[in-house]
């Protein structure tokens, strides 16, 4: 990368590398650093000791530091910052880095490294951090010269937050954090090899608008890019202006209000019938900040062959997301906010209007799919249905809480039944699907929004993957609510075994579960166990009334409940299994 | 289809592993890869020969462009270009075969750059096809050692690849 070091100001202060790190974070307006100390970062911790620019949050496992920083970033849109030591600190952090990478979340990860002279000697707690993390970061750096530390951190923030966001790692050898240099923090960096496109091509945008206006069976497919690109307002205006149906991926939920009737639900493997059928049968598809993931489109040849005349417009800031799994007709590379604004301007000035008769017929068709009521479940059951818990959670929090989740069936029910009206309210791991994220995500969110309701929907298996963070929550007073949909199974695994492995439930039963109520109490929190449908609402209300306490709601749910609809792996979007089929 | 990609990268430690790591992580083929500094000391130029459908090569190009250290990528095979590879071959050259070996090298415009009483070391430059043809023309048993640089490529005419 080209280095454009500005001339050092004669008066620039001389600081140690460790102090430079702290000052850079201050310049970036960082509020929280999530971390865990160790030998290679001791100088940096020493510099943190008496500074007031940011708070350091001491987690109980480096994985959680990354997840918490990631949760903070997802909820605020600002980059999350984590600090870990060399060797095991880094390897523990890798899951968190990869999780953020897969969902394009901006993070700056600072890692300690053994002293430069010891690199390559199998030194104590040495690992090839840059090598290990290379495939799961947007970029990484090893800083060998203290004079390059500040500009490198500047570059890290710049790269993490622009274009398609992602984690950037800065590896700092211990001697570099001890040495001194003149401190200068550049306001801007220019990298000749990195300049993400912002403006979309105007000719392509015109073509796209024309296609949209001519559509008889239009569909708007919204992904995480709209959330990441802060383009909810533009998207919402566009959908309402056109009065077209809109669906969202797991990562896009909240970008368009779920309470609007134009929203046809999530699409994909566990998407609604109306969303998946409209995707499969539309004549013009507008994909916005979505990447045609395999859990969304299912089998790409089925998707293409089933409707060969469908025209696809795809807006994405990353050219490599376009035509990766599905060939598109009108690619538009650019920032979603800019491109949507340009489209809106054209649409408002357009003389042509969508064909009202065709649109009405299309909505009628969608109405028929909707009438299948594919998310229905047994509301009279004597056992607690997980879907019911999420509906009540939505009701009690007035649909306005921040909901984090872990990975499994509970995640899908949260996505289907908590109707998100705002972006950045739904915080979960989609791309990597990392169990264990839920609690640390909730910590990051609660720190960012201390007055907001923050609930973590989890499962008895997932929660045990980062349960140690209950201690962090105690230390920093983070009164989040844990909604444990306890089905005594790795439910999502059990569901696949039921459907595709002849009910052979190999190793998916969660034996020897702890008493979660006592566990919560042992960490200094409140625990509740709920096993009757009639008690769900009261317990939730009570939990949210305990404003300043973390409450662990251990909710004993139906062990055999499955997530429907389901598109089996390798099948097409219209080949869903519905509850009524079984 | 065979494609020749020319890539300008920042002359940074690790740039090569970012590129080669991309190919292995995404399951793309590398037939050959060469890299060396350019007239601008801050940049290196790589030539990668790969095979794949148009879709795959389009993805390879996009993914390469996404790497922060990559300044520019062009697919030379999309236009008129020249490709060359250098090969050094050590061959058995004793007795009556010695004269024959020299003649074959001459036909392919190879140069003998090292000699012992039993061997020749021949230097040969050309397209991959030409080097392959030379090896085929030799008696298999006569080849003691070969080393090839892999393909380097450049566009024809006045067009240049610049940052
Ligand atoms: C158990 C489980 C089940 C799942 N089931 C489903 C399911 O049923 N349905 C479903 O949808 N998903 C499901 N997923 C999630 C799935 O794996 C993917 O993570 C998800 O579908 C990807 O969402 P996305 O396409 O919105 O892309 P994201 O990963 O959110 O990517 C965002 C895209 O937007 C682009 N972008 C980013 N910023 C901008 C910008 N400023 N301007 C323009 N473009 C931008 C990026 O380049 C990228 O292409 C499931 C996950 C798990 C763990
Ligand atoms: C770290 C990790 N390991 C394994 C998996 C595979 N996996 C996906 S869902 C799941 C079960 C989750 O069980 P639980 O947390 O109880 O949720 P449930 O499905 O029962 O709601 C497993 C093991 C994963 N996603 N992440
Ligand atoms: Mg479970």
For every one of its 582 residues, what pLDDT tens digit does chain A have, with 9 covering 90 and above? Answer: 555 555 554 457 999 999 999 999 999 999 999 999 999 999 999 999 989 999 999 999 999 999 999 999 999 999 999 999 999 999 999 999 999 999 999 999 999 999 999 999 999 999 999 999 999 999 999 999 999 999 999 999 999 999 999 999 999 999 999 999 999 999 999 999 999 999 999 999 999 999 999 999 999 999 999 999 999 999 999 999 999 999 999 999 999 999 999 999 999 999 999 999 999 999 999 999 999 999 999 999 999 999 999 999 999 999 999 999 999 999 999 999 999 999 999 999 999 999 999 999 999 999 999 999 999 999 999 999 999 999 999 999 999 999 999 999 999 999 999 999 999 999 999 999 999 999 999 999 999 999 999 999 999 999 999 999 999 999 999 999 999 999 999 999 999 999 999 999 999 999 999 999 999 999 999 999 999 999 999 999 999 999 999 999 999 999 999 999 999 999 999 999 999 887
Given the residues A31, A54, A125, A207, select the one marked as catalytic.
A125
Q: How far apart are CA A481 and CA A442, in angstroms?
A: 9
Q: Are A564 and A550 in contact (CB under 8 A)?
A: no
Q: In Å, what is the CA distance from A582 to each residue of A273, A330, A381?
A: 16, 40, 18
Compute the count of residue pairs across chains A and B with CB atoms less than 8 Å apart. 43
Name the closest-CA residue to atom 39, ligand 1.
A225
Q: Are A49 and A18 in contact (CB under 8 A)?
A: no
Give percent above pLDDT 90 in chain A.
Answer: 97
Closest CA to B18 of B73, B86, B96: B73
Q: Please state the pTM of the whole predicted model.
A: 0.97
Residue A488 DSSP class: S
Q: Where are the alpha helices (DSSP H) in chain B?
A: 15-25, 54-66, 97-107, 128-137
Q: Measured in angstroms, how far is the CA atom of residue A461 from the centroid of ligand 2?
A: 6
Closest CA to A573 of A289, A266, A313: A266
Q: Measured in angstroms, how far is the CA atom of residue A443 from the centroid of ligand 3?
A: 22
State pLDDT tens for residues A480-515: 999 999 999 999 999 999 999 999 999 999 999 999
Amino acid B163: pLDDT? 85
Catalytic annotation present for A497 = no
Q: How far apart are CA A274 and CA A565, in angstroms?
A: 11
Query: Is residue A428 lining ligand 2, measured as CB closer than 6 Å?
Result: no
Q: List chain A residues with CB under 8 Å of B59.
A: 320, 324
Q: How far apart are CA A266 and CA A311, in angstroms?
A: 21
Distance from CA of B86 to the nearest CA of A (A): 30
Q: Are A444 and A70 in contact (CB under 8 A)?
A: yes
| Residue A482, phi-psi category: left (phi > 0), alpha (psi -120 to 50), beta (remainder) | beta
State pLDDT tens for residues A200-222: 999 999 999 999 999 999 999 99
Q: Are B46 and B19 in contact (CB under 8 A)?
A: yes
Q: How far apart are CA A455 and CA B6, in angstroms?
A: 51
Q: Count of alpha carbons within 13 Å of A74, Cβ hemisphere only? A: 38
Query: Is residue A408 lining ligand 2, measured as CB closer than 6 Å?
Result: yes
Mean pLDDT, chain A, whole residue set: 97
Q: Are A245 and A220 in contact (CB under 8 A)?
A: yes
Closest CA to A275 of A284, A285, A266: A266
Residues lining ligand 1, CB < 6 A?
A 103-104, 164, 223-225, 228-229, 249-252, 266-271, 289-291, 293, 295-296, 315-318, 321, 335-336, 407, 411-412, 430-431, 433, 492
> Could you tell me which chain A residue has the CA closest to the CA of B42?
A2
Amino acid A12: pLDDT? 79
User: What 3-state class would DSSP assign to B136?
Assistant: helix
Instruction: Decide: residue A133, CB within 10 A, 0-12 exposed, 13-18 middle, 19+ buried.
Output: buried
């Amino acid at each position: 990368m080209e280095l454009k070091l500005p001339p050092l100001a004669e008066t620039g202060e001389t600081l140690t590398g460790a102090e430079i790190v702290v000052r850079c974070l201050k310049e970036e307006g960082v509020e929280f650093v999530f971390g865990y100390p160790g030998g290679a970062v001791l100088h940096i911790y020493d510099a943190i000791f008496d500074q007031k620019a940011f708070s350091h949050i001491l987690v109980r496992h480096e994985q959680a530091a990354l997840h918490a920083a990631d949760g903070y970033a997802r909820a605020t849109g600002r980059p999350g910052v984590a600090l870990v030591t060399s060797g095991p600190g880094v390897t523990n952090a890798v899951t968190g880095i990869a999780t953020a990478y897969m969902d394009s979340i901006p993070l700056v990860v600072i890692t300690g490294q053994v002293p430069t002279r010891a690199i390559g000697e199998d030194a104590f707690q040495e690992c090839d951090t840059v090598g290990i993390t290379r495939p799961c970061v947007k970029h990484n750096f090893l800083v060998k010269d203290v004079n390059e530390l500040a500009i490198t951190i500047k570059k890290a923030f710049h790269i993490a937050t622009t274009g398609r966001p992602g984690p950037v790692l800065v590896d700092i050898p211990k001697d570099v954090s001890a040495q001194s240099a003149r401190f200068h923090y550049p306001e801007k960096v220019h990298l000749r090899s990195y300049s993400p496109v912002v403006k979309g091509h105007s000719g392509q945008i015109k073509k796209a608008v024309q296609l949209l206006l001519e559509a008889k069976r239009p569909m708007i497919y919204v992904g995480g890019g709209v959330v990441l690109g802060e383009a909810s307002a533009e998207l919402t205006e566009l959908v309402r202006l056109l009065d077209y149906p809109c669906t969202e991926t797991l990562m896009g939920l909240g970008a368009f209000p779920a309470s609007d009737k134009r929203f046809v639900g999530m699409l994909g493997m566990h998407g609604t019938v109306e969303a998946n059928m409209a995707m499969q049968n539309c004549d013009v598809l507008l994909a916005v900040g979505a990447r045609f993931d395999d859990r969304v489109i299912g089998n790409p040849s089925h998707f293409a062959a089933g409707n060969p005349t469908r025209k696809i417009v795809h807006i994405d800031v990353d050219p490599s997301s376009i035509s990766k799994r599905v060939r598109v007709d009108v690619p538009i590379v650019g920032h979603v906010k800019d491109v949507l604004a340009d489209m809106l301007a054209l649409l408002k000035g357009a003389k042509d209007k969508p064909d009202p008769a065709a649109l009405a017929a299309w909505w009628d068709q969608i109405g028929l799919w909707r009438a299948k009521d594919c998310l229905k479940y047994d509301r009279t059951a004597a056992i607690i249905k997980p879907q019911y818990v999420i509906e009540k959670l939505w009701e009690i929090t007035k649909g306005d809480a921040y909901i984090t989740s872990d990975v499994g069936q509970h995640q899908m029910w949260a996505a289907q039944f908590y109707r998100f009206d705002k972006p950045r309210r739904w915080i979960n791991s989609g791309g990597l699907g990392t169990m264990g994220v839920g609690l640390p995500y909730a910590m990051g969110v609660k720190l960012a929004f201390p007055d907001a309701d923050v609930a973590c929907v989890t499962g008895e298996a997932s929660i045990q993957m980062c349960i140690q963070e209950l201690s962090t929550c105690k230390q920093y007073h983070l009164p989040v609510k844990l909604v444990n949909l306890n089905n005594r199974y790795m439910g999502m695994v059990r569901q696949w075994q039921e459907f595709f492995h002849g009910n052979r439930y190999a190793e998916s039963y969660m034996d020897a579960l702890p008493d979660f109520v006592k566990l919560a109490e042992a960490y200094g929190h409140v625990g509740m166990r709920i096993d009757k449908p009639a008690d769900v609402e009261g317990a939730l209300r009570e939990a949210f009334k305990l404003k300043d306490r973390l409450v662990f709601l251990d909710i004993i749910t139906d062990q055999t409940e499955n997530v429907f609809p389901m598109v089996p792996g390798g099948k097409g979007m219209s080949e869903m299994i519905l509850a009524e089929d079984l | 289809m065979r494609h020749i990609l020319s890539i300008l990268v920042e002359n940074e430690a690790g740039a090569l592993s970012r590129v080669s790591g991309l190919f292995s992580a995404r399951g793309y083929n590398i037939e050959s890869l060469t890299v060396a500094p350019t007239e601008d000391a801050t940049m290196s130029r790589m030539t990668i020969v790969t095979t794949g459908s148009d879709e795959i090569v389009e993805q390879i190009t996009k993914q390469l462009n996404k790497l922060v250290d990559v300044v520019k990528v062009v697919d030379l095979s999309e236009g008129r270009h020249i490709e060359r590879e250098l090969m050094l071959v050590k061959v058995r050259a004793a007795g009556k075969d010695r004269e024959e070996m020299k003649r074959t090298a001459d036909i392919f415009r190879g140069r003998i750059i090292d000699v012992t009483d039993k061997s020749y070391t021949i230097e040969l430059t050309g397209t991959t096809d030409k080097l392959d043809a030379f090896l085929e023309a030799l008696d298999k048993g006569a080849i003691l050692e070969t080393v090839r640089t892999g393909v380097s490529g450049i566009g024809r005419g006045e067009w240049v690849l610049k940052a």
